[in-house]
A = this chain, B = another copy of it.
Amino acid sequence: MSCSFGSKIKLTIFGQSHSQAIGCVLDGIPAGIKLDSDRIEAFMARRAPGKNAMSTARAEADKPRIISGVVDGVTCGAPICAIIENSDTRSGDYEKLRILPRPAHSDFAAYMKHNGFNDIRGGGNFSGRMTAPLCFAGAVCTQILESKGIHIGAHIASIGLIDDERFDPVNTEKEHLDSIKAKALPVISDEKGKMMASSVSDARADGDSLGGTVECIVIGLPAGIGDPIFDGMENKISAAVFGIPAVKGIEFGSGFEGSKLKGSENNDAFYSDNEKIKTKTNNHGGILGGITSGMPVIFRCAFKPTPSIAKEQKTVNLATGENETLSVGGRHDPCIVQRAVPCVEAAAAIAIADFII
């Protein structure tokens, strides 16, 4: 415990990769909001598996069935529950993993926590598949935030050693974000995107995998949202983003690079722009003292390479205690970063909605 997030809104995610269904409950959404189901499905389609050579061959329709909280397309104030059926499951793929934990995967830790009663099929509730309901909830929150002029976009900032360009942290526009969402590979530089795709292809061919980073920006947030100490923007966004499997780091604004700078270099000077107070640079990532400054909120997060690889690896047989080797079959993404892009947007949307709704 716990698969719940938020205080003003409350998101609860349930399901396992191979359970009958997965889904979520989103409580606290006000009544009277018209939800655009096409846009919800479009959001979710961006993370859906089976799209291209960069992702798993598992094909799921991933069409959410909203079973409560919405009447004739309009929220009624009751908790919104959406269910996504699990259809294309091949549980047999996973039997041997029960006693041969995959290096860098949750198998071993889950075994120790649950005394071997964890659902090993498809990684159980540790599966990347749990991000489907996260994206559903994020898509709902996104629509509400957009009605308040708040827009969220993300892109692949790097895969392996290939870096994309960076968002302009000061002057990014909604149209730019929309154009990235419309791409098959959500990058700023398509040239870099091709190089990324090629390196993923090489890794797959080699029975290996790649990690990367995602950069996310939130524009249109007014100043004054958030709290100091334990309930700041950074605390809440990071608590949501680490809910995405494989995230191992997060940084806001100039982040780790900023820690190498002098105050006179890293401080963002204020200036007055038509009665609005702004900064010309945005090393603070739109957050000061846990509270929004009115500048875009910007952060990057690090994804480790997919643990499940075909290459032979060393592990231990939990039944015998003997050292063994393992080559992971099944259908796995050689890189999950491109599918993680909408998940990061979703996590940010949920975190921000929890402050604003």
Chain A interface (Cβ within 8 Å of chain B)? 1-5, 7-10, 12-16, 19-23, 25, 27-28, 30-32, 65-69, 71, 74-81, 83, 101, 103-110, 112-115, 117-119, 121, 124-126, 130, 158, 160-161, 203, 208-213, 222-232, 234-236, 238-240, 242-243, 245, 247-256, 258-272, 275, 277, 279, 283-285, 287-294, 302-309, 311, 313-316, 318, 321-323
* Cross-interface CB contact of A242 among B75, B124, B232, cutoff 8 Å: B232
Contact A288 to B20, CB < 8 A, known contacts A8-B1, A228-B126: no
Closest to A23 in B: B81
Q: Would you call A124 and B208 a contact (CB within 8 A)?
A: no
Q: Can you list 12 contacts pairing A with B, beta carbon distance less than 8 Å? A: A12-B12, A13-B79, A16-B68, A19-B68, A20-B65, A21-B68, A109-B226, A112-B291, A203-B262, A236-B239, A248-B255, A267-B313
State the Cβ distance, A100 to closest chain B Cβ, in Å: 9
CB neighbours (8 Å) of A252 from chain B are 248-249
Q: Would you call A288 and B108 a contact (CB within 8 A)?
A: yes
CB neighbours (8 Å) of A31 from chain B are 113-115, 117-118
Q: Would you call A264 and B68 a contact (CB within 8 A)?
A: no
CA distance A10 to B1 in the complex (A): 8
Q: Would you call B4 and A230 a contact (CB within 8 A)?
A: yes
CB neighbours (8 Å) of A287 from chain B are 109
Q: Would you call A126 and B289 a contact (CB within 8 A)?
A: yes
CA distance A124 to B75 in the complex (A): 12
CB neighbours (8 Å) of A264 from chain B are 208-209, 309, 311, 313
CB neighbours (8 Å) of A238 from chain B are 235, 238-239, 242, 250
Q: Would you call A75 and B260 a contact (CB within 8 A)?
A: no
Q: Would you call B27 and A12 a contact (CB within 8 A)?
A: yes
CB neighbours (8 Å) of A226 from chain B are 109, 113
Closest 7 A/B residue pairs (Cβ): A106-B289, A249-B251, A209-B263, A31-B114, A112-B224, A109-B291, A31-B117
CB neighbours (8 Å) of A27 from chain B are 1-4, 12, 14
Q: Would you call A20 and B67 a contact (CB within 8 A)?
A: yes
CA distance A243 to B110 in the complex (A): 29
Q: Would you call B303 and A259 a contact (CB within 8 A)?
A: yes
* Cross-interface CB contact of A305 among B15, B113, B261, B315, cutoff 8 Å: B261
Q: Would you call B117 and A77 a contact (CB within 8 A)?
A: yes
Q: Would you call B235 and A239 a contact (CB within 8 A)?
A: yes
Contact A225 to B113, CB < 8 A, known contacts A104-B267, A108-B288, A262-B305: yes
Contact A271 to B314, CB < 8 A, known contacts A16-B78, A211-B260, A304-B254: yes
Q: Would you call A269 and B314 a contact (CB within 8 A)?
A: yes
State the Cβ distance, A13 to closest chain B Cβ, in Å: 6
CB neighbours (8 Å) of A251 from chain B are 248-251, 256, 302
Q: Would you call A305 and B263 a contact (CB within 8 A)?
A: yes
CB neighbours (8 Å) of A30 from chain B are 114
Contact A1 to B68, CB < 8 A, known contacts A110-B291, A269-B313: no
Q: Would you call B209 and A262 a contact (CB within 8 A)?
A: yes
Q: Would you call B266 and A104 a contact (CB within 8 A)?
A: yes
* Cross-interface CB contact of A76 among B16, B69, B261, cutoff 8 Å: B16
